[in-house]
Structures are given as C-alpha cells and as structure tokens.
Amino acid sequence: MHDHSDNQKKDIELPLLGPTPTDTESPLPKRSRNLDANFSESQPKYNIWGIYFALISTLSSVLVAVIWKWNPALPRGELFVWRSVFACPLAYLLIKKYDSQLTINELFGYHNVKVGLIATISIITYFVSLLGLTVSETTTIYATLGIFNGIFGLLFLQETYPTFERILGGVCFVGVVLIVRPPFIFGEDEQSGAKEMPISRFLAAIICIISTALWSLIQIILRATKVGCSKYAMLFQNNFQMGVIAFVDCMMNGGLQSMGFQGYFTAFLMCLCNLSVTYCIIRALEYEKPSVVGLVSYSEIIFAILADLFIFHIFPSFLALIGMSIIMACCFLLIKKAQ
C-alpha cells in the first residue's frame, strides 16, 4: 500500500504530457522499478503543444516584419497608432473570455500597467538599438533570449535548466551567428561600413542587451502568472501604451496623416499578427519553460530567411544554409523528445 501511494504521488509530478497509466504491479523487482523511475525522472521531457505555440509565435513575428517591410512609404507613427486602435478592443475581448468579471479599474491596476510598461520599454529600446547597430548585429544579440530565459527561469521560478537545453542553446546560437554573419565577427562589409550610425555601437549593444533581458523578463512573468486575465491584460496594456506613445509622437510632428485603405488594412494585419505573437507566447508558456520557448525562438531566423527568399527574392548564402540546418535540427530534437 505504501509503494502504491508513492507511485501515485509521482504521477502527479510528471510534466504536462497527458494522463499517466494506471499503476499496476510490475513483475520487475522493486529495486529495478525504482532505478527505472529515477532514470525517467532525470530525463528532460517537453510538451509538444508548448513547442508548436512557440513556433507559431515566431512565424507571426516574421509576418509582422514582412507586412511592415512590404510598403516602407507608409507613415510609421500612424501605423502604430491604428494598430493599437484595432488591437486594444480585440485584446479586451480576450480578457473578457478568460475573466468576465474583470473591471476597468483592475485592467489599469498597478501590476498590469507595470508589466505592459516593461514590454513597451523592451520594444522601444530594441528600435533605439537599431540606431547604432546593423540588423544582423541586433538579431545576434537578441538571440541570447534563450540564455536569459534559462537563467531567469532558474533564479525566479526555480525551474530546472538541464545540460541538454544549455548545449542546444549554444549550438543554436552558433547557427544564428552563421546566418546573420555579424560584422564584428566576420568583418565590416561595404554597406555597413559606409553608413555612419547616430549613436556608438557599444552604447547600442548595451541598449539591445537591456531590451533582450526585459523581453525575457516578460516571458518569466507570463510563466509565473497563474491567472489568465493578468496575462492578457499585459497584451492590452502593451498595445494601449504603444498607441499612446505613437500618438504623442505624431502630434509633436505635425499631427496624424491619412493613410488610405492600404494603410489601414496594413495596420489591421499588423494588429492580428501582433496579437498572435503574444497570444501564442502566453499559451506556449502555459505548457513549457521559458528556456525551451526561448530555444525554439531561434527558428525565427529560418522563417525570416524563407520570407526573404520567396517574397523579397533575397537568396541566403552557403553559411546561412548551414546555420538554418543547425537550428532546424535542434528544434526537431525538442519536438522528438516531446512526442
């Protein structure tokens, strides 16, 4: 009876991979069964839904960039304003779906405003870092997200950070470096060397690291939040605050401009993809640890290169193809362990 109770307790502690089989008497000796149980518990296990949601989030992020790049003539400030106008009501509907009793005062409570502000600062500092860094350099620095997630998850959530994940994170980072080929590693090319940056590269790199750490902190907060409404309240606050900042910027620079049907439609598509990015991250963190979600986010580079290839007709180099293969292999290893 005592052994049967212990096995039931272990069943409760297993990861979110579905119900466990009914405990029955095994023909193996008790010592052998305990050794097998200890070996099984020492192996990292992953949830397939967490990985799928993380992949959808990264794909949505690339779609936002594609939509943004499709027509660079559209005014950026107005796009952010109208994206927020479309996104805030949809985010509010998500909140009502998970907590119909939520009030406006609770939505604008200290915790929700604070978390939304952290996300907003992370986005703003990311764009500021682009003033002193090339896109490839910024992407390389942001690829440390998985490392920050693993460290913060260990510090704040007391979640395990197995050696397997650390090794995959390092291998994925090598793949990212091969894809973006940052000039500070592979040397300056003619295009990046010909352009003078408004701020120093060192300062921009520090700002980009801060942006990455803040976005990682957001994922840790989402993972720690047990009540669904608080998570989606962050989504509302992020869009609301970004809209306010963009609106103030537009008013300080001559007022809002009319964008026409194409501009408003573009803002609506950006709204949908932006909601998908955060919604899928929230769902992914309900199933998986931040370190695993951060590791899967490396696949964003693959989606970006495919978009350049099939939409903008920019062909990747040989080193980029090697990097893509490395990242895909790491993601497939996680998916295989989740099945």
Task: Encode pLDDT of 45-81 as tens digits.
Answer: 678 888 899 889 888 877 877 887 778 788 888 988 9
Q: Which long-range contacts (CB under 8 A, 24 or more apart) does 15-24 make?
A: 15/45, 15/46, 15/47, 16/47, 16/287, 17/45, 17/47, 17/338
User: Which 8-state DSSP code applies to residue 161?
Assistant: -
Structure tokens at 205: 């790199």
d(CA 256, CA 249) in angstroms, rounded, equals 9
Number of domains in the chain: 1
If one compares 262 and 227, the residue with the highest pLDDT of the two is: 262
Residue 5 within a domain: no
Do the Cβ atoms of 60 and 208 come closer than 8 Å?
no
In a domain, 260, yes or no: yes
Distance CA 280, CA 231 (A): 12
Q: At what angle do helices 30-42 and 2-13 cross, to 10 degrees?
A: 10
Q: How far is CA 180 from the centre of its chain?
A: 19
82: domain range?
A: 48-338
C-alpha closest to that of 77 among 248, 200, 287, 215: 248
Determine, yes or no, domain membership for 102: yes
> For the segment 285-309, what is each residue's pLDDT rounded down to a tens digit?
888 877 778 777 777 777 777 777 7
> Is residue 274, in this structure, part of any structural domain at all?
yes
pTM above 0.85, yes or no: no
Interhelix angle 300-310/48-70, nearest 10 degrees: 40
Q: What is the pLDDT of residues 184-203, one digit of tens each?
A: 667 655 444 445 667 776 78
Q: What's residue 197's pLDDT?
A: 63
Query: What pLDDT was estimated at residue 137?
Result: 62
66 lies in a domain?
A: yes
Q: Closest Cα to residue 234, out of 214, 209, 264?
A: 214
In a domain, 11, yes or no: no
Task: Provide φ and ψ at 316, rounded to 5°.
Answer: -70, 155
Tell me, yes or no, whether 9 lies in a domain. no
Kindly state whether residue 277 falls inside one of the protein's structural domains.
Answer: yes
